[in-house]
Amino acid sequence: MIVAVPGSKSVTARALFLAAAAGGESVLRRPLLSDDTDGFAAGLAALGYGVDRTDPDAWRITGSPAGPPAPAADVQCRDAGTAARFLPALAAAGHRGTYRFDASAQMRRRPVAPLTGALLALGVDLMHDGEAGRLPLTVRAAGIKGGDVELDASLSSQFLTALLMTGPLTAEGLRIRVTGIVSVPYVEITLAMMRGFGVEVTREGDTFVVPPGGYRPADYAVEPDASAASYVFAAAALAGRTATVPGLGRGALQGDLRFVEVLRRMGAEVEIGPDATTVTGTGRLAGVTVNMRDISDTMPTLAAIAPFADGPVRIEDVYNTRVKECDRLEACAQNLRAQGVTVETGPDWIEIHPGTPAPVEIACHGDHRMAMSFAVAGLRTPGTTFDDPSCVKKTFPDFHEFFARLRADWGV
């Protein structure tokens, strides 16, 4: 069965940034329509960029290479790591204006200090209005000269993406020496998309060299969201059905498509074609030990279906899942234990033992991935409910309707 999923959150956010930074009009085809990307686009509009979303399938963005056209703005980044990390960096490269950035209670708790530290080191006038190293913060833009800067991106690759995308807007370009990094495939998305808007970043060992000179506008097609597709693939594997997700094939930008390799190791049949990926469940899921450092947004997907494997599932090297929409390692463990499943966790790992999960109300902690992951596992645990089903709006507003249709089509 062909199962289309919405556009990628990560690609939509980057395309919005790059289009705003480019001179002229860019078109974003099939962008993701969700709270994160709505907040990002609304943030750009508040900063004065031209944002025309009349056609939901073709957003038109009028860029401003000199920086935000508005002299002042209050930007609400909501619950989005992308907006909270990318937009202050974009604004900082402007040449005049005062911009304040705030976010949800959880996003206020999530780290931004390595990024704001790098911006301060580059001479940006930036003030944390509350707790040091967190949102809210205020940027007084006066242009960035550029040059050498060090960055620790071991808590979030979004710090590096923000600096990379800002590089071409500086007078001399940036040489970013990276002292630690996580979620590496997201940096590859950034570099590929910067190329799509006319900028070639080069690498010298652990240093990224970003040339000055700005971006050119583009007509950009957003690929489907690979993290969202993980729910479809996991459901196929669990229900013994076949799902083909179009638009995500061998050339896909997103590392999260590699989740299907985990399902393959667990016994599912997987075919990655030139422009689509197909997963067929075989009725069996084997236990597995897997390092998910590169694809940690799919950790909850795997954790939720793990009890149905015939051996332990151990997920390693995912410490950064503790600083996402919630502490995902503990939230997964808490929900699985509530279902009666045996679970152990460590600082950066979780191990889940085979079991028969009991139907409970899942504690979502406001985290879209908690709701979507346990909805998939609910295929085999009828009676599962959620304390906050609408939290899926962050990246997949009609997930529950979508999933109910999929179940009806599969007869499961």
Ligand X SMILES: O=C(O)C1=C[C@@H](OP(=O)(O)O)[C@@H](O)[C@H](O)C1
Going by the annotation, the residues of the binding site for 3-phosphoshikimate are: 9-10, 14, 156-158, 297, 320, 324
Site string for ligand PEP, 369-388 (x = CB under 6 A): x-------------------
Q: In the window 305-364, what residues touch ligand X (CB under 6 A)?
A: 320
Number of residues that bind ligand X (CB under 6 A): 12
**Gyration radius (Cα) of the chain, Å:** 21
Q: Residue 253 or 285: which CB sits closer to ligand X?
A: 253
Q: Residue 182 or 238: which CB sits closer to ligand X?
A: 182
Q: Residue 9 or 241: which CB sits closer to ligand PEP?
A: 9
Query: Which range touches ligand PEP (CB under 6 A), out of 78-86, 172-180, 353-361, 404-412?
Result: 78-86
395 makes contact with ligand PEP (CB under 6 A): yes
157 makes contact with ligand PEP (CB under 6 A): no
Tell me which of 186, 197, 208, 215 binds ligand X, using CB under 6 A: 186
136: preceding bond cis by omega (within 30 degrees): yes
81 makes contact with ligand PEP (CB under 6 A): yes
Q: Which of 129, 297, 327, 388 is catalytic?
A: 297
Our answer to whether residue 129 is catalytic in this structure is no
Q: Which residues are annotated as a binding site?
A: 9-10, 14, 81, 110, 156-158, 297, 320, 324, 328, 369, 394
Site string for ligand PEP, 282-321 (x = CB under 6 A): ---------------x------------------------
Residue closest to 102 by CA, chosen among 125, 130, 124, 123 = 130
Tell me which of 225, 297, 351, 367 binds ligand X, using CB under 6 A: 297
Tell me which of 34, 62, 76, 82 binds ligand X, using CB under 6 A: 82
CB contact set of 204 (below 8 Å; sequence gap of 6+): none
**Three-state SS sequence of the chain:** CECCCCECHHHHHHHHHHHHHCCCEEEEECCCCCHHHHHHHHHHHHCCCEEECCCCCEEEEECCCCCCCCCEEEEECCCCHHHHHHHHHHHHCCCCCEEEEECCHHHHHCCCHHHHHHHHHCCCEEEECCCCCCCCEEEECCCCCCEEEEEEECCCCHHHHHHHHHHHHCCCCEEEEEEEECCHHHHHHHHHHHHHCCCCCEEECCEEEECCCCCCCCEEECCECHHHHHHHHHHHHHHCCEEEEECCCCCCCCHHHHHHHHHHHCCCEEEECCCEEEEECCCCCCCEEEECHHHHHHHHHHHHHHHHCCCCEEEECCHHHHHCCCCHHHHHHHHHHHCCCCEEEECCEEEECCCCCCCCEECCCCCHHHHHHHHHHCCCCCCCEECCHHHHHHCCCCHHHHHHHHHHHHCC
30 makes contact with ligand PEP (CB under 6 A): no
Task: Look at residue 30 and give the partner it binds from ligand X, ligand PEP, none, a contact being a CB closer than 5 to 8 Å depending on partner kind.
Answer: none
Query: Which range touches ligand X (CB under 6 A), out of 151-159, 267-275, 279-287, 326-334?
Result: 151-159
Residue closest to 109 by CA, chosen among 84, 75, 91 = 84
Tokens of 157: 């690759």
Q: Residue 183 or 334: which CB sits closer to ligand X?
A: 183
Task: Look at residue 369 and give the partner it binds from ligand X, ligand PEP, none, a contact being a CB closer than 5 to 8 Å depending on partner kind.
Answer: ligand PEP
Task: Look at residue 8 and give the partner it binds from ligand PEP, ligand X, none, a contact being a CB closer than 5 to 8 Å depending on partner kind.
Answer: none
CA–CA dist 331, 346 (Å, integer): 13
Quote the least distance from Cβ 195 to ligand X, whole Å: 16
CA–CA dist 363, 338 (Å, integer): 10
14 makes contact with ligand PEP (CB under 6 A): no
Quote the least distance from Cβ 223 to ligand X, whole Å: 13
Task: Look at residue 395 and give the partner it binds from ligand PEP, ligand X, none, a contact being a CB closer than 5 to 8 Å depending on partner kind.
Answer: ligand PEP
Quote the least distance from Cβ 372 to ligand X, whole Å: 13
Catalogue the active-site residues.
Answer: 297
Residues making contact with ligand PEP (CB under 6 A): 80-82, 297, 324, 369, 395
The footprint of ligand X (CB under 6 A) covers 10, 81-82, 156-158, 161, 182-183, 186, 297, 320
